[in-house]
A and B are shown apart, each in its own frame.
Chain A
């Protein structure tokens, strides 16, 4: 994921590469935290506009952490005004040839998982989803959040534990 380019971010091609490699993850990252697509879109825009404005000051290898920081700071400012509302609109499963009972039960389970995810602390949810959906390694998530790998492992462990407890009704 490292953009090891000696070029300047002010160059259109370098900027576009940084955008294409990171914009989706920035979007998801903010979305997992905030549960608001619009805000997540805004955060991506804001982060990359800021990157462009500061392109001369930000070396290409720092561009990635720069956009996460900007997006995160934006979120920090907004959370005061708005309460976290999570909605996972798109959760289509691959079509299966299972029995209706199984599908119903599966649907029910998904609903439970949804609820359980929503009731997770924000940092555990973000860690869990970045790992599960975006396939991010613990190390990458640690970099994004600015914490140690061990802290991420802890969040992951606790997230799984809470999810199971919620779903199994313990």
Chain B
């Protein structure tokens, strides 16, 4: 008999001779019976579906555990975003330019970091970067301002019409819609307009209306007239004069049959509205009607 013949017998691996010999043995009947009875044995019932359900439940339970961790994770996310926003806006705001602006009928004096002085005329906006001031003295201007620049590095006034660069001087820049005027009161001012540079010595001014450069004009006084509550014009189209009047007196101007292209030379008060109206209407030979914060200019002929 070969090794483990009982196992071989179960597996039908015994040779004919071996099987015959085995069958003749006394034990054979017992083995056969053990086999027959054990074949009727059954394992306990096993409900695979139930266990699979239990397994799936535990799986989802574990997944819920993960979800339970989420609120903290979410909180961390929110915190991270909030911190980012706070830091980001801090740095952003820090890097933002300083801004100064004036309303209608308002003037304001601004002292720049290097003690240069700027006086903003009505309805003007000035911005500059305080952080970069040490590196470059650069201000952006819309509207009109008088500059008294402390000596030092190049000082630049950037406007959408042109740039004005100086070293240390006193000058006035007016940048309105279609109107760009620079007047130098002391020192030397360099005006770059339309890519062309013009040197402006003290007592002269540079004027461009609608992109067209007018002749350089002589100017007297040590300050722009508006600093003394007066607006002065020399051969300026009436349109710009009226706009300036609107700004200085915060009064809406309407015109009827008035040629606003005619040139105006003169000045008007920035404080006395009636006097200013007369100063404008008399030389232009037009009439006006003031009603509250509205004024109507009209030509005499129309009446």
A-side residues, CB < 8 A to B, are 16, 19-20, 23-24, 27-28, 31-32, 37, 40-41, 44-45, 48-49, 52-53, 88-94, 106, 109-110, 113, 128-129, 131-134, 138, 150, 152-154, 156-157, 160-161, 163-164, 167-168
Q: Which of A41, A48, A132 contacts B41 (CB 8 A)?
A: A132
Q: When chains A and B are docked, how far (Å) is the Cα of A94 from the Cα of B37?
A: 11
User: Are A160 and B31 within 8 A (Cβ)?
Assistant: yes
Shortest 4 CB-CB contacts between residues of A and residues of B: A156-B7, A157-B4, A153-B7, A160-B6
Classify the secondary structure of A's interface with B.
helix
Report yes or no: A19 in contact with B43, Cβ–Cβ below 8 A. Answer: no
Query: In the complex, what distance in Å separates the CA atom of A160 from the CA atom of B4?
Result: 10
Within 8 A of A (CB), among B14-54: 27, 30-31, 33-35, 37-46, 48, 51-52, 54
- Central interface residue in B31, B38, B52, by most chain A CB within 10 Å: B38
A156 to B33, CA, bound (A): 16
Residue ID in chain B nearest A127 by CB atoms = B7
Known A156-B4, A163-B34, A167-B30: A31·B44 in contact at CB below 8 Å = yes
Contacts of B51 in A (CB 8 A): 23, 27, 41, 44-45, 48
Q: Give the residues in chain B near A160, CB-CB below 8 Å.
A: 6-7, 10, 31, 34
Q: Which residues of chain B have C-beta atoms less than 8 A from A23's C-beta?
A: 46, 48, 51-52
Count of inter-chain pairs, beta carbons less than 8 A: 110
CB-contacts of B37-77 with A (<8 A)? 37-46, 48, 51-52, 54-55, 58-59, 62
Minimal beta-carbon separation of A21 from chain B (angstroms):
10
List chain A residues, Cβ under 8 A from B37: 106, 109-110, 113
Complex partner residue of A164 from B27, B42, B44, CB under 8 angstroms: B27
Query: What are 13 sample pairs from A and B whose C-beta atoms fall under 8 A apart?
Result: A20-B52, A27-B51, A28-B43, A41-B51, A48-B55, A91-B41, A94-B40, A129-B43, A134-B43, A153-B3, A157-B3, A160-B6, A168-B27
With a cutoff of 8 Å between Cβ atoms, the chain A residues found around residue B257 in the complex are: none
Tell yes or no: B235 within 8 A of A by CB: no
**B55 touching A24, Cβ below 8 Å:** no
A19–B10 touching, CB < 8 Å: no
Q: Is the interface of B mostly helix, strand, loop or mixed?
A: helix
Q: Apart from A40-B44, A109-B37, A160-B31, what 15 extra A-B contacts exist at CB < 8 Å? A: A16-B52, A49-B58, A91-B40, A91-B41, A113-B37, A132-B38, A133-B38, A133-B42, A134-B43, A154-B4, A156-B10, A157-B7, A163-B34, A167-B30, A167-B34
Known: A27-B46, A157-B5. A133 touches B41 (CB 8 A): yes
- How far is B133's CA from A109's CA once the two chains are assembled, in angstroms? 107
**Which of B5, B7, B27, B62 has the most chain A CB atoms inside 10 A of its CB?**
B7
B11 in the interface (beta carbon within 8 A): yes
Closest residue on chain B to residue A152 by CB atoms: B7
Enumerate chain B residues within 8 angstroms of A163, measured Cβ to Cβ.
Answer: 34
Question: Could you say which of A45, A138, A161, A168 contacts B58, with CB atoms under 8 Å apart?
Answer: A45
B30 touches A164 (CB 8 A): yes
State the Cβ distance, B152 to closest chain A Cβ, in Å: 68
Q: Is B294 close to A, CB under 8 A? A: no
For B38, give its contact among A16, A113, A134 (CB under 8 Å): A113
